[in-house]
Chains A and B, each alone.
Chain A
Amino acid sequence: MVPKALTIDLLLIGAIFILGVFQTRVILRSMSYLEILSLSFPVGLGTLTWLLFILSWLGLHISIITITILYTVLLICLILIRRFFRRPHTKHRYTTELSSILKEHSQILSIIPWVLLILLFLSAIFISVGRAYSTWDAMAVWSVKGYGIALEGTIFAGRTWGSHGLNYPLNLPLAISIFKLLSDDVLPGSKLIFPLLFISLIVNIYSFFIRRNISQTHAKFGLLLLASVPLLFEHATLGYANLAFTMYIVLGALYAMEGIYGNHPDELVMSGLLLGFAAWTRQEGLFISLLVVMALSLTWLISRKGKLKFVPWLLPLVSISMVWFIFTHIYGTEGQITLALREALPGISQGNFHLESIYTILRYAARQMLEPSIWGLLFPICLLLIILAGPRRFSPKENIYLFGGGATTLAIGIAVFFYYYAVSFREMPLDWWLSTSFNRMILPVGVLLGILAVMAIGSSTLLSNDHE
C-alpha cells in the first residue's frame, strides 16, 4: 500500500511540476533551468488549487475525474498559448545554466556547500513525511480541512471540518485534498509539499543571487546561512502555511524588483502571480502583498530607476486575491487583522496607547531574534555583514536592489509590529499572541534580511577578484 501511495504521490508532484513548467515558460520569456526548477512546483500548485477553488464555488464536485479534466484542459491551454502566442526570446539576463554551475564547481571545495544543502533538503523531506501532521495548526486547520474537502467533494466542507471555518485561504487544504483523493494520503504524501516549497525558495534565491552578480562563494554561503536557520528548517517539516507564504512573498518581492528596476514586464507578471498566491495561502497575505507593492512603488518614485508598470504587475495579484477576498467576505467571518484593528482603534482614539505593549513587543522580538535555537545567528550576522559592507550601499544610488529590498523588509517588519500592537487591545494577553505566532510571522523578514546582507557583502562591485 505504501509503495503504491508513494508512486501516486510522486506522479502527482511530477504532474504539478510539469504544469508549472509550462506556465512559467509562458510568463517568462528567458529563464534558467534553476528558475524552472524552483518556480514550477509553487506556481503549478497555486494555479491548480485556485482554479479548483473557483470551479467548486461554481458548484463542480471535487473528485479525481474533475481534477484530471481540469489539469488536462489547463495543460492543453498552456501548450496552445505557447504555440500560438510565441513571443521572441529576450536576451538572457543571467547565466545560471546547470552546465555552467557544474563546470564551475568541479573542485571538491566548491561542491561542499551543495552537498550540505542537498543533505539538508533530504533531511527535511524525510522528517516532514516521517513526523506526519503532528502540530496544532497542521492538524486542526490545514490537513483536516483538506481531508474534509476530499471527503465531501466541495470547498464548503472547510466550513465544518477543522478550525476557523472558511476564514483561511484554501491553497494548502485544496492541495492536501488532491493527495487525499489520489493516494488517501497514507504516507502522508501531502507533507512533501512543505520541503519542496522550502527547496523552491532556497534554489530561487540562488538564482537571484547569480542574476545580481553575487559571487559564487557568497551566493552558496548565503543559501547555507538561510537553509540552516532552525526555524526555517523546522517550518519545512511542520505542515504550517507560513513557509509557503514566505516563499510566495519573498520570491514575489524579488521578481518585482527585477521587473521594475530592470524594466522586465514578464518578471512583474511573475511577481503579481506569486504575490497573489501569497494572498491565496495565508490570511494576512493580501495585506502583506499590497505592502510589498506600496514599498517597491515608493522606491521607484524616489529613485526613478527602471519602469513601473502596474497593469502586468497588479492584474494577476488582484485577480487571484480578489476572488478569495469576495468569497471569504461572503462565507467567512472577520479576519484577524481587521478584528485587531477594530478593537484597537477605539482604544487609541480614547487616549489608551498601550505604551507598555510597545516595550513588550520590542523586548520579545529582540530576545527571539537573538535566540540561537530559533533563528540561529541570522539576525546578528546580517547586522554585522551590513555594517561591514557599509549601510551606504542601501542608498538608491549605490544599489537599487538593496534599497528596494530594504524598504520591503522594513515595511513587512513594521506591519508585523503594528499587528501585535493592535492585538494587545484584544482580550487574550499579548504574551499569548507573541508566543504562538511572532516568529513565524516574521519569517519573510528574516529571509529577506538574509538575502540583503549577503547581497551587500557579496556583490561584484565589492568583490571584483571573484569575477576575474
Chain B
Amino acid sequence: MNKQTSRWGSKKWPQVIGTLLLTLAILYQLIQLIRIEILPLAKFVMQRNGANATERSALFFAGKGFSDFITFVNENVPLNGTVFIPRFEQNEIFGHEGIMEFFLFPRKVENCSPNIPVEECILNLRGPNKYILAVEGYPPRSAAVQVKEWVPFDGEQGIYIPPP
C-alpha cells in the first residue's frame, strides 16, 4: 500500500479530517482576530501617535472628553496635591479611587467619608494642597465656593483650587 492510500486508509482518516478542521478553525480565528481585535486596536494606536501614555490610556478608556479633562486636572494640580473626588456611588468613573489614582498619579486621591455629610466634608477642605474635582452633581457648589476657587473646564466639570 503506498503512502497516499495509507493516509486515506481506515486508520488515517481521523487525522486527515482533524488537520482539515484545525486549518479551517485557524483561518476563521485569524480572520476574526484581525477584524475585531488587531485592526481596530492598531488603528487606534496609530491615530494617537504622539500622545503620551496617560493620554492614550484616557482616550482608550473613556474617549476624548475624559482625556482632555484629565489633562486639565493634571495641569492645575501640583504633584504634591490631594484631589478629593466624588464617592463611587455618585460617579463610577470619577468616583473610582483606583482609576483616578492612576490618571492623577503621583497626586493623592481621596473621597469624603460616608459617615459625614458631603457639605461638612467639603467645608473642612481648607488648606493649600487640597483640591476638589468637580463633576456633575459633585461637590455641592454652595459649600465648595466658601473654601476654594472655581476653575472651570466644561459645564459642571472643573476643579476647585485653594485660593491664592
Whether the pair A230, B32 counts as a contact (CB closer than 8 A) is yes
Asked if A457 CB lies within 8 Å of chain B CBs, one says yes
Interface string of A121-139 (1 = CB under 8 A from B): 0010011001111111001
Asked if B14 CB lies within 8 Å of chain A CBs, one says yes
Q: Which of B11, B22, B54, B60 contacts A225 (CB 8 A)?
A: B22
Give the contact-size bracket for chain B: 35 or more
Whether the pair A140, B42 counts as a contact (CB closer than 8 A) is no
Complex Cα gap A135–B25 (Å): 29
Complex Cα gap A249–B122 (Å): 48
Q: Which of B17, B41, B106 contacts A147 (CB 8 A)?
A: B106
Chain A residues contacting B23 (CB-CB under 8 Å) are 221
Q: Which of A132, A141, A389, A468 contacts B57 (CB 8 A)?
A: A132
Asked if B52 CB lies within 8 Å of chain A CBs, one says yes
Chain A residues contacting B11 (CB-CB under 8 Å) are 462
Whether the pair A381, B25 counts as a contact (CB closer than 8 A) is yes
Chain B residues contacting A131 (CB-CB under 8 Å) are 41, 44-45, 56-57, 60
Asked if B21 CB lies within 8 Å of chain A CBs, one says yes
Asked if B18 CB lies within 8 Å of chain A CBs, one says yes
- Report how many residues on chain A are interfacial, defined by Cβ distance under 8 Å: 57
Whether the pair B14, A388 counts as a contact (CB closer than 8 A) is yes
Q: Which of A134, A188, A372, A454 contacts B60 (CB 8 A)?
A: A134
Whether the pair A133, B57 counts as a contact (CB closer than 8 A) is yes
Chain A residues contacting B12 (CB-CB under 8 Å) are 463, 465
Known: A234-B37, A390-B14. A133 touches B102 (CB 8 A): yes
Asked if A313 CB lies within 8 Å of chain B CBs, one says no
Q: Which of B18, B54, B59, B97 contacts A163 (CB 8 A)?
A: B97
Interface string of B25-66 (1 = CB under 8 A from A): 110111011001110011011101000111011111100000
Asked if B101 CB lies within 8 Å of chain A CBs, one says yes
Known: A133-B102, A372-B28, A457-B14. A233 touches B60 (CB 8 A): no
Whether the pair B14, A462 counts as a contact (CB closer than 8 A) is yes
Q: Which of A139, A222, A378 contacts B99 (CB 8 A)?
A: A139
Known: A139-B99, A233-B33. A228 touches B53 (CB 8 A): no
Asked if A143 CB lies within 8 Å of chain B CBs, one says yes
Complex Cα gap A385–B14 (Å): 8
Chain A residues contacting B33 (CB-CB under 8 Å) are 120, 228, 230, 233, 376
A454: nearest chain-B partner, CB-CB = B22
Known: A217-B19, A228-B33, A389-B14. A134 touches B98 (CB 8 A): no
Complex Cα gap A457–B26 (Å): 15
Looking at the assembled complex, report how far the CB atom of B71 sits from the nearest CB atom of chain A, in whole angstroms. 14
Asked if B129 CB lies within 8 Å of chain A CBs, one says no
Complex Cα gap A377–B15 (Å): 18
Complex Cα gap A136–B3 (Å): 55
Chain A residues contacting B41 (CB-CB under 8 Å) are 127, 130-131, 237
Chain A residues contacting B36 (CB-CB under 8 Å) are 230, 373
Number of interchain pairs (Cβ within 8 Å)? 153
Whether the pair B21, A186 counts as a contact (CB closer than 8 A) is no
Looking at the assembled complex, report how far the CB atom of B106 sits from the nearest CB atom of chain A, in whole angstroms. 5
Q: Which of A141, A161, A381 contacts B21 (CB 8 A)?
A: A381
Asked if A224 CB lies within 8 Å of chain B CBs, one says yes
Whether the pair A221, B26 counts as a contact (CB closer than 8 A) is yes
Q: Which of B18, B53, B96, B105 contacts A389 (CB 8 A)?
A: B18
Known: A133-B102, A390-B14. A187 touches B29 (CB 8 A): no
Chain A residues contacting B37 (CB-CB under 8 Å) are 230, 233-234
Whether the pair A228, B106 counts as a contact (CB closer than 8 A) is no
Asked if B141 CB lies within 8 Å of chain A CBs, one says no
Chain B residues contacting A148 (CB-CB under 8 Å) are 101, 105
Asked if B91 CB lies within 8 Å of chain A CBs, one says no
Whether the pair A140, B15 counts as a contact (CB closer than 8 A) is no
Known: A130-B56, A186-B52, A234-B37. A140 touches B102 (CB 8 A): yes
Complex Cα gap A140–B37 (Å): 23
Asked if A264 CB lies within 8 Å of chain B CBs, one says no
Q: Which of B7, B17, B26, B48 contacts A228 (CB 8 A)?
A: B26
Chain B residues contacting A372 (CB-CB under 8 Å) are 28-29, 32
Complex Cα gap A151–B57 (Å): 20
Chain B residues contacting A135 (CB-CB under 8 Å) are 61
Complex Cα gap A133–B28 (Å): 29
Whether the pair A465, B3 counts as a contact (CB closer than 8 A) is yes
Q: Which of B29, B42, B53, B101 contacts A376 (CB 8 A)?
A: B29
Whether the pair B7, A465 counts as a contact (CB closer than 8 A) is yes
Asked if A282 CB lies within 8 Å of chain B CBs, one says no
Asked if B6 CB lies within 8 Å of chain A CBs, one says yes
Asked if A229 CB lies within 8 Å of chain B CBs, one says yes
Asked if A286 CB lies within 8 Å of chain B CBs, one says no
Known: A140-B96, A188-B53, A389-B18. A134 touches B32 (CB 8 A): no
Complex Cα gap A148–B98 (Å): 11
Looking at the assembled complex, report how far the CB atom of B107 sits from the nearest CB atom of chain A, in whole angstroms. 11
Looking at the assembled complex, report how far the CB atom of B73 sits from the nearest CB atom of chain A, in whole angstroms. 16
Complex Cα gap A454–B18 (Å): 9
Whether the pair A221, B102 counts as a contact (CB closer than 8 A) is no
Pairs across A and B, CB under 8 Å, 30 listed? A127-B38, A127-B42, A131-B44, A131-B57, A131-B60, A132-B53, A132-B54, A132-B57, A132-B60, A139-B57, A140-B96, A144-B102, A188-B53, A217-B19, A218-B22, A221-B19, A224-B26, A224-B30, A228-B30, A234-B37, A376-B32, A376-B33, A377-B28, A384-B21, A385-B22, A390-B14, A457-B14, A457-B15, A457-B22, A463-B15
Q: A143-B102, A230-B33, A378-B29 are in contact. List 4 more A-B contacts (CB 8 A).
A: A148-B101, A229-B29, A373-B36, A384-B21
Q: Would you list the 5 A-B pairs with minimal beta carbon distance, nearest first? A: A140-B98, A130-B45, A134-B60, A163-B98, A376-B29
